[in-house]
Amino acid sequence: MLICNHCNTKNLDIAKFCKECGNSDLYDPQAEEKLEQERRKQEELRRLEEEKRKIAQEEREKSLKQRKEFISKHKSKIIISMVSFFLIASLSIYQYFYGGKYSRVYINKLEGKCHYDDASSCKMLQTIYKEKCDDGDGKACFAGIFVSGDLIRVKIDGQWSFLDKNGEFAIEPKFDYVWSFGEGLVAVKLNGKYGFIDKSGKIVIESKFDSGGHFSEGLAGVKLNGKWGFIDKNGEFVIKPNFDDAWYFREGLAKVGLNGKYGLIDKSGKIVIKPKFNAVWGFSEGLAAVELNGKWGFIDKNGEFVIEPKFDDTRSFWEGLAGVKLNGKWGFMDKNGKIVIEPKFDGVGNFSEGLARVELNGKYGFIDKNGEFAIKPKFDDAWNFNEGLAGVKLNGKYGFIDKNGEFVIKPNFDDAWYFREGLAKVGLNGKYGFIDKSGKIVIEPIFDDIDY
């Protein structure tokens, strides 16, 4: 069973895209562990490190002896050089901490405020980190993800935790599973129960729920005694657990399930749209896809059909268009229900940055909003474009292309995800790390899994 990292929907093991939202970011929570392999790898790394340490020690001793001989011979010249160096270094340090466009003192202040969810400070930090990231500073790329709201979720030795902006563990890896941060809190599973922690790892809401989602619009869905409800950030039920299923709030409404049917509630728990649909997707751009009697259409927030249910399947609206399936083929329609790109594809993703991923005859390419191929289908797999690049698979390996279809990062990876804040997750030899937009490995692939 694969779970969508975007909307938490369960999918079949063979699924490439989420049946709920069309996102391709799926993960298997029951993937086999590779503990023994990791231990052997770590032992080998320690052995190599010890050898390097011994060699380095020998080099240091040799270098020290040479320096002593040199100093004895050139003592007066060295004193003059040291004074000059001290003056230059002092000026550089002052510039680093107090001068320049973005001084270290200024950045430290912003980081402190951002840690306590000061929105303006976080926004300014994102601007600074993006500028530094674009200039090739890999650490700034990583820090950009941190201030955008999430720590990085990683799995190592069978346990989940989070990395901070420096690539170090922010919280001790001890959880059976963790969700992504939402509004400063995250659901974590420990000893079979779910609770919530903050970014320091402090338990804010004790582990007592059977399941839990992430906070959105101030509320989080939780399961207790077989039923779902919604809690606030104090852990108090705002909406009592009366539902068979529940999703997160989006645009003021949340999808809920009752007796095998789905509808929507508002934040008071009032049923706004009665559970009568076989399936409901969350609202996107003011409309929600629903299934009724085997056909898909779109409703508004009053539950009225804006586009009648006549499609075999559909995606949500993104950038004004939604993928729709008719007679076994996929195309796109606008918000008036007009088909603007004829159904002729075997599969489609959502539009992102003006292009949509499409599948034709087992190969993937990208089309524009006129339905014309911007990049012809020649890849074995593909992600949507994000930050100007898209991950694609060719001849068994993943790399990244630009919007001209040219490889910016050569296909050298076993797996790859999308770019976010200047970094992308990649897989090598069963482990995961991060690269920047030059293809340079910023965080070594040593983790069993990474989510972001």
> What are the per-10-residue average pLDDT scores of the chain (452 residues)?
62 62 60 48 54 57 58 54 46 42 59 54 60 55 48 82 75 85 88 91 93 91 95 95 91 91 93 91 88 94 93 94 95 96 95 95 96 96 94 96 96 92 90 92 87 70
- The phi, psi pair for 40, rounded to 5°, reads -60, -40
- Decide if 201 is inside a domain: yes
pTM of the model: 0.62
Task: Report how many domains make up the chain.
Answer: 1
- Decide if 411 is inside a domain: no
- Decide if 71 is inside a domain: no
CA dist., res. 365 & res. 394, Å (int): 12
What does the pLDDT read at residue 110?
A: 60
What does the pLDDT read at residue 172?
A: 83
What does the pLDDT read at residue 165?
A: 60
What does the pLDDT read at residue 118?
A: 56
Tokens of 311: 């499609």
Q: Which domain holds residue 204?
A: 176-235
What does the pLDDT read at residue 306?
A: 95
CA angle (213, 214, 218) in 5-degree steps: 120
- Decide if 153 is inside a domain: no
What does the pLDDT read at residue 443?
A: 86
Residue 147 · residue 443 · CB < 8 Å: no
CATH number at residue 222: 2.40.10
String of DSSP letters for 258-277: ETTEEEEE-TTS-EEEEEEE
For 265-304, what is each residue's pLDDT tens digit? Answer: 999 999 999 999 998 887 889 899 999 999 999 999 888 9
- Decide if 51 is inside a domain: no
For 162-219, what is each residue's pLDDT tens digit? Answer: 887 667 787 888 899 888 788 888 899 999 999 999 888 899 999 999 999 889 899 9
What does the pLDDT read at residue 63?
A: 58
Single-letter code of the amino acid located at 318: W
What does the pLDDT read at residue 183?
A: 85
- Decide if 196 is inside a domain: yes
| Residue 354 φ/ψ region, left for φ over 0, alpha for ψ in the -120 to 50 degree band, beta for the rest | left
- The phi, psi pair for 280, rounded to 5°, reads -140, 135
What does the pLDDT read at residue 83?
A: 46
CA dist., res. 354 & res. 338, Å (int): 19
What does the pLDDT read at residue 392?
A: 96
Tokens of 233: 């950030």
Is beta strand 355-360 parallel, antiparallel or unpaired with respect to 329-333? unpaired
